[in-house]
Amino acid sequence: MKPRFLSPMLCRPVDKPFNDKGWIFERKIDGTRIILVKNRQTVRLFTRRRIDRSRQFPELVEAARKLLAVSVVLDGELAVTKRVDSAFQALQPRMQQTDPKIIARLDRNVPVTFYAFDILTLDGRSVMRLPLAARKKLLKRIAKGGKIRYLDSVDGQGVALFTRAKRAGWEGIVGKKNDSRYYPGKRGRGWVKIKAHNEQELVIGGYTKGYGKVAKTFGALMVGYYARGKLKFAGQVGTGFTTLERHQLKQVMKQLATACSPFVDNLNDSKATWIRPKLVAQIKFVEWTNANILRAPVYLGLRDDKPARLVKKEI
């Protein structure tokens, strides 16, 4: 049950907030993008890379079965419900888990919510060509709360919402034109995102040798982003990992080992182990230097909802 339009519509990054009566503004949720597909009592939760995460979140599957629609496809963000320092990082223990007992325990300790912000089909009919304002009205009738929640928005006042985002520690805000249609997999001009702090996805291209307490895993990840089809080096990330994450990540990276550096840059690091650029990590950092290198980067977790080739340096 994988519909052709599984690739979600994307946002264009802009560097500052704005006010416009023709736009709405929403909180940018710190989680994982999910396309929720319901067909009668069958429910699937697909990431941007079309990985089915229904098994990891059975409570959302059960909630979706109770939606007031025989069949529906929703776009939204799956995120930890309670306030934590990094909601994305708190979500990581659930993403790969398959043990039902552990999943049930995590659901109690770290509950999640699906924040629905768009609707693609309703009872077998595509609504993607309707203007956003009309789609929002349909969505609001279906996502009434609980585990599947309608994401509220404000009309026109992007600057005020961005100020609130900065004060509250949100990831940022998203702006959308009221008359915008839904274009799967496209980065149209009708959707924009404005970040309140520096955090983005980066591709892992290798890792350095570990010493002391981390001798059995690695020292730091070597990360980068794509520019004109080439992987550009963006620096090393050596903090933010739990001990378990270090061991799990080392095992995954060992399977991707390669003899040559994937970076276009001439990196003379004889102690590095290069890997094929398949893994995408979420990284927070203070700023980009003039040489386009991360300053004070911290690892938050792996992403499986974005292909590595789509990772670019954002504003």
In contact, 302 and 96? CB cutoff 8 Å: no
Same fold, 26-152 and 199-310: no
Radius of gyration over alpha carbons of the chain, in Å? 20
Query: What is 199-310's CATH number, 2.40.50.140, 3.40.1360.10, 1.20.1250.20, 3.30.1490.100?
Result: 2.40.50.140
Q: Is the pLDDT of residue 231 over 50?
A: yes
Mean pLDDT to the nearest integer, 43-67: 93
Architecture field, domain 26-152: 2-Layer Sandwich (3.30)
Catalytic residues: 28
Q: What is the mean pLDDT of the chain?
A: 91
What is the spatial distance between Cα 77 and Cα 55, in angstroms, rounded to a whole number? 17
In contact, 207 and 275? CB cutoff 8 Å: yes
287-to-70, 291, 308 alpha-carbon distances in Å? 47, 11, 22
User: Largest alpha-carbon pair distance within the chain?
Assistant: 59
In contact, 161 and 23? CB cutoff 8 Å: no
279-314 tens-digit pLDDT: 999 999 988 998 999 999 999 999 988 889 999 998
Domain positions in the chain are 26-152, 199-310
Q: Is the pLDDT of residue 1 over 50?
A: no
Q: Is the pLDDT of residue 137 over 90?
A: yes
Per the listing, tokens 């959308």 go with: 176
Percentage of the chain lying above the pLDDT 70 cut: 97
Confidence of residue 98 (pLDDT cuts 50, 70, 90): confident
| Positive or negative: CA dihedral 303, 202, 297, 287 | negative
